[in-house]
Structure 1
Amino acid sequence: MDQAEFGHLVEKKSASSELFKGRLLHAFRDEVILPSGKVATREYVVHPGAVMVVPLLEDAHGHLQVVLERQFRYPVGRVMIEFPAGKLDPGEDCFACAQRELREETGFSASQWAHAGVLHPLIAYSTEFIDIWFARGLRAGQRKLDDGEFLDVFTATPAELLDWCRVGVVTDGKTLTAALWLQNVISGAWALDWHEGV
């Protein structure tokens, strides 16, 4: 989409103040000039960005499985089912982050990778983006969880995952997006450009 043709919708920052700076989140309140010329305020969080990996695994019978995680998420107070994901370290390349997060959280490394796209999960109040990667040719290894990180790794069929999305067992936005992507890849509607990885 050519952003230049939508200039009549753009808001322009006229002032900015910092509200909060933590280890992960950095919050601001900006004054903006609306397309009408009126002034409004926008509060938002600056986030370093993240990756999510959709790991594909064949079981002993050659049937496709996906590697998932169960993790307690404090803000919502419940254990969630998610694909492996994590934030970018300062200066880190998205592909390097995807490889690192897959290895650290699940113990798997992958021989082939495909970049699927980018997700903006919280466009109303955050700069966060999530780079989506698919991985296959998985080799098991040792996990290296961060200190204070606790999660279970398990596998499910794509059909099981999609049913969990349908009935509300899976409600994590990035995982719902990945399930949509997975469904279209499996059906052949959306192609992936696979390349060798380490």
Structure 2
Amino acid sequence: MKEKVWVVDNEILKDISFYNGFTIVEQNSLEKIFNNAYFIDRDIAEIDESKKQIIPYVIIKNEKNQILVVQRTKKQTEKRLHNLYSVGIGGHINPIDKNNIPEITFYNGLNRELNEELYINNLKSLEYVGLILDDTTEVSRVHLGILFIAYVTSADIKEKENFNELWLNDSEFENFNGNFEGWSKIALRALEVI
């Protein structure tokens, strides 16, 4: 069976004033996105630039004020992102996440993705930050990131074969020479880390 993913038509996004990169939008704009989202086959969504796949993108921050950084290994499925570093945990919303209330569909997907990828010790809070829209690459043109920060006591990656992990504080990002994927660069600039 083909994977289905949650998408929104670009037409819906035209009423939201945001630009290429990071934008803070109000909760009612998120509701409009969620209320107009629907599921289609992922293989169609990956090439249809009239739609955006809705992706929860969560930065994990521990009690030492460090951010989790993961590097995608060559064993990870998305070949276009191999060896790049990321500060975001997240992924597609699938029909398994569906609820009659669209906002709950989104949060079900966010929680499922976090639980699939991380062992989390004490999720203290989850803070909405804004939207990531990046039209500069083939991958990012068909995705819309909804950026959050999760404050945790600690966390650990589950898929050690697919990701290498490290924790960096703000000053360590200044000297870090790894190549971050596009959304991570946007997110770190939004948080004024880089």
Q: TM-score range by the shorter chain?
A: 0.5 to 0.7
Verify: 1:115 aligned to 2:128, yes or no.
yes
Partner Cα separation in structure 2 for residue 150 and residue 111 of structure 1: 26
* TM-aligned CA distance change 1:135 to 1:69, over 3 Å: same
Q: Contact 1:161/1:179 (CA < 8 Å) preserved in 2?
A: no
Percent identical residues? 13
- What is the CA distance between 1:28 and its match in structure 2? 9.3
- Counterpart of 1:51 in structure 2 is 56
1:15-56 deviation per Cα after TM superposition (whole angstroms, max 9, x unaligned): xxxxxxx96331699xxxxxxxxxxxxx62645321111111
Q: Which has the higher contact order (CA 8 A, sep 6+)?
A: 2
Q: Contact 1:71/1:152 (CA < 8 Å) preserved in 2?
A: yes
Q: Which has the larger radius of gyration?
A: 1
- What is the CA distance between 1:183 and its match in structure 2? 1.8
Report the TM-score, using the length of structure 1 for normalisation.
0.57
- Counterpart of 1:102 in structure 2 is 114
Partner Cα separation in structure 2 for residue 101 and residue 86 of structure 1: 6
Q: Given the alignment, which residue of 86, 92, 100 partners 1:87?
A: 92
Partner Cα separation in structure 2 for residue 102 and residue 150 of structure 1: 15
Segments of 5+ residues of structure 2 without an aligned counterpart are 1-12, 17-39, 99-103
Q: Contact 1:107/1:140 (CA < 8 Å) preserved in 2?
A: yes
Structure 2 SS opposite 1:122: coil
Report the TM-score, using the length of structure 2 for normalisation.
0.58
Map 1:163-182 → 2, pairs under 5 A? 163-164=175-176, 167=177, 169-182=178-191
- Counterpart of 1:131 in structure 2 is 146
**Greater share of helix residues, 1 or 2?**
2
- Count of equivalent residues: 145
Q: Would you identify which runs of 4 or more consecutive aligned residues in structure 1 move more than 6 Å?
A: none
- Counterpart of 1:36 in structure 2 is none
